[in-house]
Amino acid sequence: MYQQLHQSIAQFLQPSQKEKALLEEAFVFRQVPKKFKLVEEGQVATEIYFINQGLIRLYYTKDVEEITGYIFRENLFSSSYDSFLTGTPSQQTLECLEDCELLVISNNDLDELYKKMPSMHIFTRKMAEQRFINAQRILSSFILDSPEERYQKFERHNRDLLQRVPQHYIASFLGITPVSLSRIRKRLMEKK
């Protein structure tokens, strides 16, 4: 159950047996069904979710429209990280796109863990750095690439998600309407 988590942590730390036990104590297993909302807009996020199995969609709500900000997959830490870090109400909703198997750590348990296991500071630093790098990559794609190029990159790096996720979620993640994505796909089909 904790194998994937330990593997993820091993990228940055070599925890002792005792520390591994502390980690397993802090991260609690939780199963949630498709469409379950882990964080709702307006709430303060108090948990971080490591995904053993499933997909989680982060989205913003603008008027009545849902706009996908990210799709988290297996072996990633998912959260409304902004809200979690600042303790302010989340502008984002976190919703399961599939039945999910998660390992959950709360705010409080993470603070406990910092005390018992100081190297956790290093891990969460690495985690923050990774999330920065990721956000930066997506941002630079918005700055540098056309919607068509963004779709092609997405296709290259996340081919499986095209099968697992409704297309209009991907459209809004790419910053365009479903109609526009459909046109882009048609254009690309005709080129080949």
Partner DNA sequence: AGGGTTCATTAACAAAAGATAATAAGTGCT
Partner DNA sequence: AGCACTTATTATCTTTTGTTAATGAACCCT
**Of 16-24, 67-75, 81-89, 161-169: span binding DNA (CB under 7 A):** 161-169
* Residue 73, binding choice from a second copy, DNA, none, Cβ under 5 to 8 Å by partner class: none
**Of 43-51, 104-112, 129-137, 153-161: span binding a second copy (CB under 8 A):** 129-137
Tokens representing residue 129 in the block: 């750095």
Per rule CB under 8 A, is residue 87 in the interface with a second copy? Answer: no
* Binding residue (CB under 8 A) for a second copy from 3, 14, 17, 118: 118
Please state, in angstroms and rounded to a whole number, the distance separating the CA atoms of residues 110 and 73: 22
* Binding residue (CB under 8 A) for a second copy from 30, 131, 153, 183: 131
Per rule CB under 7 A, is residue 160 in the interface with DNA? Answer: no
Helix (H, G, I), strand (E, B) or coil at 32: strand
Please state, in angstroms and rounded to a whole number, the distance separating the CA atoms of residues 80 and 87: 10
DSSP structure class, residue 54: S
What is the smallest separation between the CB atom of 192 and a second copy, expressed in angstroms?
Answer: 24
**121-154 exposure pattern, b = at least 16 Cβ within 10 A, e = fewer:** eebbeebeeebeeeeeeeeebeeeeebbebbeeb
Tokens representing residue 22 in the block: 């502390």
Per rule CB under 7 A, is residue 158 in the interface with DNA? Answer: no
Q: Whose Cβ is closer to a second copy: residue 35's or residue 121's?
A: 121
* Residue 153, binding choice from DNA, a second copy, none, Cβ under 5 to 8 Å by partner class: none
Are 63 and 121 within 8 A, CB to CB? no
Helix (H, G, I), strand (E, B) or coil at 56: strand
**Of 4-12, 23-31, 131-139, 181-189: span binding a second copy (CB under 8 A):** 131-139
- Binding residues (CB under 7 A) for DNA: these are 146-148, 166-168, 175-186
